[in-house]
């Protein structure tokens, strides 16, 4: 079966399913079973491998109940990032290398439907009046969506996948990312409730490192995490509260920011506050929390060096307090 025949088969099968299957009543397992039977009946005596029959069944099922073509891509554990620039451009990062896939979505409408499924599952909203949104997949993968007219090539979707099991400090030592001596110092700092800020460029492993450090937090502490879209994989802490921001609705109401959540967390008896990433005015609230008895807090930020991060923190604080003297800002940072 060549590509053209395959596309035609999938199209005809989808038409049949939408016409004759009562999708509202069928459970997932029942639907998959009926699709599997349909595929085998439609193929008849055509010679095709068992694996290809399974692939056709999976693709049909995913196009109805899942994420279509995207499901087939993100199932590959070797793929760490997926970049979709409109219907015809699909790039992946696999084993550290970028490559373009020889696949495409049927139409812009189909791609938009998949995006709406992703966003809807996470309780978010994206449309022309709110064309940019950050969210996540059920497995914790980070998702960034940009719709037209902001995205000129069509709907743009970027997915950053994370390991199903969070990286540990022991693994970082094994991969020679850090030395045992540095790991011992970090363990002491975390347990002694020093405030720690992790900086680095895009894709440098800030979140991975933060997850690893969280293993040193005593299991009896009450920890509150605050993120734009939940992606931290903190394990082994029973008294863990996870907070996530929310975009405004179509009426422009209901927005909840990192700043709002930091202020709220202070009334929740935290022993540690972990902010996934600071990008703007919330830096001031984070520093104030660190300076008001909430030691042991952790966070991350984008910068190429520790010196650059300190400069960026000054700039980000000014976003939330323009009239604050630079000397006062530096004092806040040094005290934290």
Return per-residue pLDDT of the chain as tens, 336 residues: 777 888 888 889 988 988 888 877 888 889 899 999 999 998 887 888 888 889 899 888 887 777 878 888 888 888 999 999 999 999 999 988 999 999 888 889 889 988 988 888 787 888 888 899 988 888 888 899 999 999 999 999 999 988 778 889 999 999 999 999 999 999 999 999 999 999 998 888 899 999 999 999 999 999 999 998 888 999 899 999 999 998 777 677 788 999 999 999 999 999 999 999 999 999 999 998 888 888 999 999 999 999 999 999 999 999 988 888 999 999 989 988
| Paired strand residues for 91 | 83, 100
pLDDT number for residue 5: 84
**Cis peptide before 149, with omega less than 30 degrees from 0?**
yes
C-alpha closest to that of 100 among 88, 118, 115: 88
pLDDT number for residue 22: 83
C-alpha closest to that of 87 among 101, 97, 66: 101
pLDDT number for residue 250: 66
pLDDT number for residue 199: 94
Taking the CB of residue 110, how many other CB atoms lie within 10 A of it? 16
pLDDT number for residue 271: 95
Q: How many CA atoms lie within 13 A of 174 on its CB side?
A: 5
Q: What is the pTM of this model?
A: 0.72
pLDDT number for residue 272: 95
Contacts 24+ apart (CB under 8 A), 305-310: 305/199, 306/199, 308/199, 309/197, 309/199
pLDDT number for residue 298: 95
pLDDT number for residue 166: 84
Q: How far apart are CA 334 and CA 313, in angstroms?
A: 11
Pairing of strands 90-94, 196-200: unpaired
pLDDT number for residue 6: 83
Contact 153, 89 (CB under 8 A): yes
């Amino acid at each position: 079966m060549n590509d053209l025949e395959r596309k035609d088969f999938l199209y005809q099968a989808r038409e049949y399913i939408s016409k004759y299957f009562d999708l509202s009543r069928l459970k997932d397992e029942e639907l998959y079973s009926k699709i599997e039977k349909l595929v085998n009946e439609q193929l008849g005596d055509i010679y095709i491998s068992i694996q290809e029959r399974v692939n056709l069944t999976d693709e049909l099922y995913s196009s109805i109940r899942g994420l279509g073509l995207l499901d087939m891509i993100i199932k590959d554990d070797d793929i760490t990032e997926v970049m979709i620039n409109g219907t015809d451009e699909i790039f992946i990062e696999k084993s550290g290398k970028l490559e373009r896939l020889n696949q495409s979505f049927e139409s812009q409408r189909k791609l938009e439907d998949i995006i709406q499924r992703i966003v809807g599952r996470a309780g978010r909203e994206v449309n022309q009046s709110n064309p940019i949104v950050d969210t996540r997949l059920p497995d914790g993968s980070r998702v960034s969506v940009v719709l037209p007219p902001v995205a000129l090539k069509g709907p743009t979707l970027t997915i950053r996948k994370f390991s199903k099991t969070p990286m540990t400090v022991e693994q970082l030592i094994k991969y020679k990312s850090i030395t045992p001596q540095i790991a011992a110092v970090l363990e002491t700092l975390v347990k002694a409730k020093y405030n720690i800020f992790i900086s680095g460029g895009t894709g440098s492993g800030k979140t991975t490192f933060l997850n690893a450090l969280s293993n040193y937090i005593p299991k009896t502490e009450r920890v509150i995490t605050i993120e734009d879209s939940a992606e931290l994989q903190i394990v082994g802490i029973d008294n863990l509260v996870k907070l996530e921001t929310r975009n405004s609705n179509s009426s422009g109401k209901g927005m909840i920011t990192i700043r709002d959540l930091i202020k709220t967390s202070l009334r929740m008896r935290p022993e540690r506050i972990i902010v996934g990433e600071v990008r703007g005015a919330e830096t001031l609230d984070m520093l104030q929390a660190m300076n008001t008895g909430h030691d042991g807090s952790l966070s991350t930020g984008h910068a190429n060096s520790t010196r650059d991060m300190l400069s960026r923190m000054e700039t980000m604080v000014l976003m939330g307090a323009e009239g604050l003297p630079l000397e006062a800002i530096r004092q806040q940072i040094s005290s934290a």
